[in-house]
Structure 1
Amino acid sequence: MAKDKSTKLKARMPRGFADRGPGELAGTREMLETIRKVYELYGFEALETPFIEYTDALGKFLPDQDRPNEGVFSFQDDDEQWLSLRYDLTAPLARHVAENFDRVPKPFRSYRAGWVFRNEKPGPGRFRQFMQFDADTVGAPTVAADAEICMMAADTLEALGIKRGDYVIKVNNRKVLDGVLEAIGLGGDENAARRLTVLRAIDKLDKVGTAGVRDLLGEGRWENPEAKSGDFTKGAGLSNEQADRVLAYVQAGVPVWENGAAVAAEHGDVTAWIETERETWFGQDFGDVSREFQINNAWTIKVLKKEFADNALALEGLNELEEIQALAARTGYFADRIRIDPSVVRGLEYYTGPVFEAELTFEVKDEKGRPVRFGSVGGGGRYDGLVGRFRGEQVPATGFSIGVSRLASALSYLKADAKPEFGPVVVVVMDRDQTAHYMGLVARLRKEGIRAEMYLGNPKNLGNQFKYADRRNAPCVVIQGSDERASGQVQIKDLIEGAKAAAAITDNAEWRESRPAQFSCPEAELIAKVKEVLDHHGVPHGDKLG
């Protein structure tokens, strides 16, 4: 009788989501542990918030939220209240602090790791579910808290194996940006939506370039600009003069030592300025290279202060940046690690002061030899109004979020030569009626902290058992037939060494005779011999159970 195909389900994954295998999970686990250690070193403590919050608690901070399920995934509870999957880890933290305001210590320093969800159009490298790892300080009004977050972000990337020079923590201030927008006539509540459109246009600078940002500041931009095809993003509607002023600000942070002649022509002699300002800006002598990086941050602030001398809001933001740069420089974090960069805006609306972005600057090749640059892998900033929405008063807060999935992808390129993640030792089944005995061998291995499993498929075909062990990336297999059991012996096949030997064997007869990397030992020595194989290849094994 023919099967009814109409009842057969199609196995398919929703767009913007991904399955993750053991190798990726192991790498992520190791990365999260490294981040956790750095965060705890800075005095932050763990906190976990739920995946789901009331929609009004999350606030309307994502684009296109004319109805509750735009930007976020939302549904109504049985009491008709709107609930949403969290879109970041900051809004739930604000709710937690506000709800427990009288009980938590202030400043309240916490870290959180978990999945967040965005109801947005998926694309290459753009997922609807991804993991973040945040650290936040709530209740500290001083910009020293912002400077410390930037230092911690730099230390975290270096702890993960990213070399100095292969990353930079970029810092800007929303107050300066608000001052710029005020100067071009976009101040006031009536222009709030246009201001946000401008900020999101600037935030795409690393993706679409200066020309793309100019389009987004003006009438808008096509997904394929040359052909004027694909999706169209409506722009902020700025005039050419307004767009020029915004772009001039965004591009003000050019490194002095890379463009010395142009800087000198426009703003005066850098060398003379250094001599008059040395004590104010530099203090300690960390060598010529560090001195250059100190010059860059200090000079960027000097240029911007000259540009916005008559704008009180912009000057307030620049004074905060000046303090962050001074604190960072005094502790050895110069512009090679923490850099003042006017192009950083961050796309979320709730930021109120300093904003930061962690960018990877190294370039690698993908599997097709094409250049890949990862760009931003994390960011954050000050959000003094987010907790206050629940309390009717400003509550100072600042924090930083690492995009775990994106950073893990970047680290996989850096660690391309790292050893693979090995699976368990596999005990093959030679005699079906001896299942209990084979389980006993597995139990002995596990008790000694060795990952192990007995083959649970059909044991009839020994070749299939070895294929299974290969697919599990097992470092070795344990073999014991009736003859070995009668003589108190076991066979151990080192699959790692065997694969190396197999590469040099071309004749099947030679293969059958040599049985590369397979040896016999007394059953009493099973644990010791397996550990020798694991240690030889650097495969970790844990502590004894019990």
Structure 2
Amino acid sequence: MSDKKKKPQKLKARLPRGFGDRSAADIRATEEMVAKIKAVYENYGFDPVETPMFEYTDALGKFLPDSDRPNEGVFSLQDDDDQWMSLRYDLTAPLARHVAENFNDIQLPYRTYRAGYVFRNEKPGPGRFRQFMQFDADVVGAPGVQTDAEMCMMMADTMETLGIARGDYVIRVNNRKVLDGVLEAIGLGGEENAAQRLTVLRAIDKLDKFGVEGVKLLLGEGRKDESGDFTKGAGLDADQISTVLPLLEPMAGAVFFRDEVGVDGDEFWFGEMRATFDEPPKQQRTGVEGWLSNYKTIEGLRDRCRNLRNEKIDQALAELDHIEKIITSAGYGTKRIRIDPSVVRGLEYYTGPVYEAELTFDVTNEKGEKVVFGSVGGGGRYDGLVSRFMGQPVPATGFSIGVSRLMTALKNLGKLGATEIIEPVLVTVMDGDAEA
């Protein structure tokens, strides 16, 4: 037997799954981009604030599961006083806690922005990370939808300040009260159905990724992906699914032909209705093919809901009409901001208008396919989140930009001075407010 001591084994240098290192070029490119975004926000009258990465788990919101160890979807640990803490899931729930805790010292409306890392305890994969940076802007204490319209216009201004040309992006707007009203109509109202409603919302939020047929599976029994992994569905029956799906399918109805007015083409004269998407009229200009006017989209949505009308749906349609009028009068028009009934957002706490910033240019994905880049951020109204702490109504609205994903887009457009080789874009869309 040898007396020689065994040499200690070398540790294997490896990153935890779903995490990544950042190079100097990436850091500098991020700083350059963030500085431009800050300039837009501050021009709109927003001030910075910073919250910690950890929050008490119960403060993060009812979208988290109820269990003895609440670590599904979040990274959690138990403090020495037996209280559960979690790494923040997004930047919105911590802001709600901050506002409630400092309510007497905050002047409303409270207009604030912040950037920071958020964490998701989810299965990592191509384009899906467990740690990523978000950049949020929120207004607390402003109940009118004019603030939601302002947020959408600020998102549009941010895209253009970053060098994304008009036509290469669109801000899509919907109202969660529409879907809430539909879910109520099919028997999913009330607190007892909150978990099932959340599963429905997350299924619909994957429309861009899986298409109508994939969402149909997720609304029902579930869906198996290419790797064989199975995602359990929302468990809706055939009648319930057939009620929800028409809200998501592309408009097959009539479109307007129009003559452009103005240099930027954002204002149009709406002529007499002549044709369908399948056979667009010759008079329709190339720059607006396939786009519905805000007015027609709202009318189409109103038509789809005609047999399900209730108070929530009526409120949603009225609010969307108001937003459309504000956007149009401000000169933003349908090329930059438009109503889209398929926008849902995957978190339970949204209570009104919701919106997404989508980049519409083509990129190459990890399979070498040409695809539309897709969403780089979104948000909406969450009037109940601060109220959970206050016991009184506190309206709020805001949006979040996925910093890393947006930086990838800017590199592909040649808008950032990063020196590394740009790899094919990974266009996997993440749930909820992640860097979509």
The whole-number CA distance in structure 2 between the counterparts of 1:18 and 1:142 is: 41
Cα deviation for residue 212 of structure 1 reads 0.4
Q: Quickly say closer, same or farther: Cα 1:366–1:231, change in 2 above 3 A.
A: closer
Cα deviation for residue 290 of structure 1 reads 9.5
Cα deviation for residue 297 of structure 1 reads 1.0
Aligned residue number for residue 402 of structure 2: 403
Aligned residue number for residue 87 of structure 1: 89
Cα deviation for residue 295 of structure 1 reads 5.8
Secondary structure of 1:385's match?
coil
Structure 2 residue 175 is the aligned partner of structure 1 residue 173: yes
The whole-number CA distance in structure 1 between the counterparts of 2:340 and 2:61 is: 28
Secondary structure of 1:109's match?
strand
Secondary structure of 1:102's match?
helix
**TM-superposition CA deviations, 1:146-190 (whole Å, max 9, x none):** 000000001101111111111111111110111111222322333
Aligned residue number for residue 489 of structure 1: none
Q: Quickly say closer, same or farther: Cα 1:294–1:70, change in 2 above 3 A.
A: closer
- TM-score scaled by structure 2? 0.84
Say which one has the larger Rg. Answer: 1
Q: Quickly say closer, same or farther: Cα 1:273–1:259, change in 2 above 3 A.
A: closer
Structure 2 residue 208 is the aligned partner of structure 1 residue 209: no
Aligned residue number for residue 127 of structure 2: 125
**TM-superposition CA deviations, 1:119-141 (whole Å, max 9, x none):** 11111111100000000000000
Amino acid at match of 1:78: D
Conserved in 1, the CA contact under 8 Å of 2:257 and 2:271?
no
Aligned residue number for residue 239 of structure 2: 241
* Structure 1, 59-68 or 233-242: larger mean CA deviation: 59-68
Amino acid at match of 2:105: R
The whole-number CA distance in structure 2 between the counterparts of 1:137 and 1:312 is: 26
List alignment gaps of at least 5 residues for structure 1: 261-269, 275-286, 423-546
Amino acid at match of 1:179: G
Q: RMSD between aligned alpha carbons? A: 2.8
List alignment gaps of at least 5 residues for structure 2: 259-269, 275-283, 421-436
The whole-number CA distance in structure 1 between the counterparts of 2:386 and 2:183 is: 25
Secondary structure of 1:186's match?
coil
Alignment of 1:149-160 (within 5 A): 149-160=151-162
**TM-superposition CA deviations, 1:244-265 (whole Å, max 9, x none):** 22111112556954899xxxxx
Aligned residue number for residue 423 of structure 2: none
Conserved in 2, the CA contact under 8 Å of 1:293 and 1:334?
no
Cα deviation for residue 421 of structure 1 reads 4.9
Q: Quickly say closer, same or farther: Cα 1:164–1:2, change in 2 above 3 A.
A: farther
Cα deviation for residue 64 of structure 1 reads 8.1
Flag the structure with higher helix content.
Answer: 1
Aligned residue number for residue 308 of structure 1: 305
Conserved in 1, the CA contact under 8 Å of 2:222 and 2:230?
yes
- Equivalent position to 1:115, from 114, 117, 120: 117
Alignment of 1:138-153 (within 5 A): 138-153=140-155
Aligned residue number for residue 218 of structure 1: 220
Aligned residue number for residue 357 of structure 1: 356
Structure 2 residue 52 is the aligned partner of structure 1 residue 54: no
**TM-superposition CA deviations, 1:100-128 (whole Å, max 9, x none):** 11111100000000111111111111110
Conserved in 2, the CA contact under 8 Å of 1:65 and 1:71?
no
Q: Quickly say closer, same or farther: Cα 1:66–1:376, change in 2 above 3 A.
A: farther
The whole-number CA distance in structure 1 between the counterparts of 2:339 and 2:142 is: 22
- Equivalent position to 1:187, from 183, 189, 200: 189
Cα deviation for residue 2 of structure 1 reads 8.6
Aligned residue number for residue 14 of structure 2: 12
Cα deviation for residue 306 of structure 1 reads 3.1
The whole-number CA distance in structure 2 between the counterparts of 1:257 and 1:204 is: 26
Q: Quickly say closer, same or farther: Cα 1:420–1:195, change in 2 above 3 A.
A: closer
- TM-score scaled by structure 1? 0.68
Cα deviation for residue 67 of structure 1 reads 3.1
Amino acid at match of 2:295: A
Conserved in 2, the CA contact under 8 Å of 1:293 and 1:336?
no
Secondary structure of 1:19's match?
coil
Q: Quickly say closer, same or farther: Cα 1:49–1:253, change in 2 above 3 A.
A: farther
The whole-number CA distance in structure 2 between the counterparts of 1:322 and 1:235 is: 33
Secondary structure of 2:372's match?
strand
Conserved in 1, the CA contact under 8 Å of 2:256 and 2:271?
no
The whole-number CA distance in structure 2 between the counterparts of 1:199 and 1:242 is: 14
Conserved in 2, the CA contact under 8 Å of 1:174 and 1:317?
yes
Q: Quickly say closer, same or farther: Cα 1:404–1:272, change in 2 above 3 A.
A: same
User: What is the aligned-residue identity percentage?
Assistant: 64
Aligned residue number for residue 343 of structure 1: 342
The whole-number CA distance in structure 1 between the counterparts of 2:253 and 2:304 is: 17
Secondary structure of 2:39's match?
helix
Alignment of 1:15-54 (within 5 A): 15-54=17-56
The whole-number CA distance in structure 2 between the counterparts of 1:63 and 1:407 is: 30
Structure with bigger RCO (C-alpha 8 Å, 6+ apart) = 2
Conserved in 2, the CA contact under 8 Å of 1:73 and 1:119?
yes
**TM-superposition CA deviations, 1:445-488 (whole Å, max 9, x none):** xxxxxxxxxxxxxxxxxxxxxxxxxxxxxxxxxxxxxxxxxxxx
The whole-number CA distance in structure 2 between the counterparts of 1:415 and 1:331 is: 30
Conserved in 2, the CA contact under 8 Å of 1:73 and 1:85?
yes
Q: Quickly say closer, same or farther: Cα 1:210–1:5, change in 2 above 3 A.
A: farther
**TM-superposition CA deviations, 1:424-456 (whole Å, max 9, x none):** xxxxxxxxxxxxxxxxxxxxxxxxxxxxxxxxx
**TM-superposition CA deviations, 1:73-116 (whole Å, max 9, x none):** 11111111111111111111101100111111100000000111
How many residues align? The count is 396
Amino acid at match of 1:148: E
